[in-house]
């Protein structure tokens, strides 16, 4: 278990990564894996809310316990506010081990800002799922066929799954005050046509978003053909803005895929709008997704892809515990490129000349929410320095 204490995990060869898009692909695959579990299940989630989707997971996890599987569930104290007392009791009474990450406490402002934003399922140390999804009906295609949130995840098999187990176990040990060791299936090299994919877990210790941001910046600066970024909340750091503009100016195809008007936090969208002018002027292409809320978090530079929980925004760089799967493989990059291109077709592109003609009221909103974002960031910086 020495990997639990590593700051960064190494690159590991011979994995199999499968891209899953939207709840219609993500949740059936996760539930099938849970139903096939033989020894152990780790589930770590930020956004959890009682409803039809969570009910399916509780039933499947409870059935796993009845088969003799050890089930460990870690929910964030803020993100799981929508978990009803009834469902909490169902989880506990079923024999599922439940722990809460950083429960909210009155008067503990600094402490309450620290959140576990990861979305992770590991089954038998043989298969893992990582992405941006949450266990709420907002992601459920059956419950909300027209308005379900657009997201992406990756199904993982191979040696890198052991690192994901280590990521969970370290967090579990701190918040559950209980040590758990991974047991179960084989995580040896995957054999077959799609084998040979290299991967690395990023965000295994402390504030994982910092590592994710660092490695993304490095890839942007070294990109030769393509830098494509899909994120739900575009509040980038100054260093990232500079790197994106510089990449576009040297001829790299830089595209941002961001939410349109359908978003759960419109203020964040307006705060991000204040960066559009400088990016468009540098040659960055910006697309706003129209059909539904774009909640996915996918970063792509040439044949490198980083996919997981991080929006690479200023807030989660400072406060959130994040984790992404990095993948270096031309076939997986091609599949990811297809996802982007499909979403580009359902988006409205922003152009410099029309952007400059936007209504005055929108400029005021951008200015106001931009100021609020900076104010919150400054307060956060002062609070963090006092910790």
Q: Where in the chain is the domain with CATH 3.30.870.10?
A: 13-196, 208-386
Q: What is the pLDDT of residues 245-282, one digit of tens each?
A: 999 999 999 999 999 999 999 999 999 999 999 999 99
Q: Is the pLDDT of residue 122 over 70?
A: yes
Known catalytic residue at 264: no
Known catalytic residue at 108: no
Task: Find the catalytic residue in 117, 150, 213, 275.
Answer: 117
Contact indicator for 256, 287 with CB cutoff of 8 Å? yes
Q: How confident is the model at residue 185 (pLDDT cuts 50, 70, 90)?
A: low
Q: Is the pLDDT of residue 216 over 90?
A: yes
Q: What is the mean pLDDT of residues 168-175?
A: 94
Known catalytic residue at 295: yes
The confidence score (pLDDT) of residue 341 equals 98
Q: Is the pLDDT of residue 36 over 90?
A: yes
* CATH class of the domain at 13-196: alpha beta
Task: Find the catalytic residue in 124, 137, 163, 313.
Answer: 124
Q: What is the pLDDT of residues 100-110, one digit of tens each?
A: 999 988 877 67
Q: What is the mean pLDDT of residues 123-128?
A: 97
Q: Is the pLDDT of residue 316 over 80?
A: no
Contact indicator for 45, 53 with CB cutoff of 8 Å? no
The confidence score (pLDDT) of residue 193 equals 40
Is the CATH code 3.60.20.10 the one for domain 208-386? no
Q: Is the pLDDT of residue 218 over 80?
A: yes
The confidence score (pLDDT) of residue 376 equals 67
Q: Is the pLDDT of residue 134 over 90?
A: yes
Q: What is the 3-state secondary structure (H, E, C) of the chain?
A: CHHHHCCCCCCEEEEEEEEEEHHHHHHHHHHHHHHCCCCEEEEEECCEECCHHHHHHHHHHHHHHHCCCEEEEEEECCCCCECCHHHHHHHHHCCCEEEEECCCCCCCHHHHCCEECCCEEEECCCEEEEECCCECHHHCCCCCCCCCCECEEEEEECCHHHHHHHHHHHHHHHHHCCCCCCCCCCCCCCCCCCCCEEEEEECCCCCHHHHHHHHHHHHHHHCCCEEEEECCCCCCCHHHHHHHHHHHHCCCEEEEEEECCCCCCHHHHHHHHCCHHHHHHHCCEEEEECCCCECCCEEEECCEEEEECCCCCHHHHHCEECCEEEEECHHHHHHHHHHHHHHHHCEEEECHHHHCCCCHHHHHHHHHHHHHHHHHHHHHHHHHHHC
Task: Find the catalytic residue in 55, 63, 189, 302.
Answer: 302
Rounded to the nearest integer, the mean pLDDT of the chain is 90
- Contacting residues for 130 by C-beta, under 8 A, at least 6 apart: 119, 120, 153, 154, 156, 164, 307, 308, 309, 323, 324, 325
The confidence score (pLDDT) of residue 2 equals 36
Q: How confident is the model at residue 382 (pLDDT cuts 50, 70, 90)?
A: low
Q: What is the pLDDT of residues 322-373, one digit of tens each?
A: 999 999 999 999 999 999 999 999 999 999 999 988 888 888 888 888 777 7
Known catalytic residue at 119: yes
Task: Find the catalytic residue in 97, 150, 213, 295.
Answer: 295
pTM of the model: 0.92
Q: What is the mean pLDDT of residues 190-217?
A: 73
Q: Is the pLDDT of residue 172 over 60?
A: yes
Task: Find the catalytic residue in 97, 119, 213, 273.
Answer: 119
């Amino acid at each position: 278990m020495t990997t639990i204490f590593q700051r960064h995990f190494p690159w590991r060869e011979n994995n199999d990564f499968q891209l899953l898009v939207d709840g219609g692909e993500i949740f059936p695959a996760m539930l099938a894996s849970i139903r096939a579990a033989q020894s152990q299940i780790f589930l770590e989630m930020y956004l959890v809310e009682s409803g039809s989707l969570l009910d399916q997971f509780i039933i499947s996890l409870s059935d796993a316990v009845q088969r003799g599987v050890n089930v460990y569930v870690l929910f964030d104290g803020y993100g799981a506010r929508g978990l009803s007392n009834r469902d909490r009791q169902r989880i506990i009474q079923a024999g599922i081990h439940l722990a809460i990450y950083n429960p909210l406490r009155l008067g503990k402002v600094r402490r309450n800002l620290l959140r576990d934003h990861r979305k992770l399922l590991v089954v038998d140390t043989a298969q893992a799922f990582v992405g941006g999804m949450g266990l709420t009906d907002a992601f459920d295609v059956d419950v909300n066929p027209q308005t379900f949130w657009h997201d992406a995840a990756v199904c993982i098999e191979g040696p890198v799954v052991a690192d994901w187990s280590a990521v969970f176990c370290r967090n579990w040990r701190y918040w559950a005050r209980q040590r758990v060791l991974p047991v179960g299936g084989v995580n040896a090299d995957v054999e077959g046509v799609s084998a040979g994919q290299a991967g690395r877990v990023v965000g295994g210790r402390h504030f994982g978003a910092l590592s994710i941001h660092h490695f993304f910046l490095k890839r942007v600066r070294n990109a030769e053909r393509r830098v494509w970024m899909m994120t739900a909340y575009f509040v980038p750091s100054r260093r990232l803005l500079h790197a994106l503009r510089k990449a576009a100016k040297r001829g790299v195809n830089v595209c941002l895929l961001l939410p349109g008007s359908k978003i759960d936090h419109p203020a964040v969208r307006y705060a991000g709008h204040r960066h559009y002018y400088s990016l468009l002027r540098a040659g960055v292409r910006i697309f706003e997704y129209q059909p539904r809320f774009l909640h996915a978090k996918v970063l792509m530079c040439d044949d490198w892809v980083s996919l997981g929980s991080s929006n690479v925004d200023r807030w989660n760089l400072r406060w959130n515990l994040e984790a992404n799967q990095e993948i270096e493989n031309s076939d997986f990059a091609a599949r990811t490129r297809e996802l982007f291109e499909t979403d580009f077709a359902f988006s409205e592109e922003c152009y410099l000349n029309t952007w400059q003609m936007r209504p005055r009221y929108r400029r005021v909103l951008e200015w106001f929410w931009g100021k609020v974002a900076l104010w919150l960031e400054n307060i956060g910086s002062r609070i963090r320095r006092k910790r």
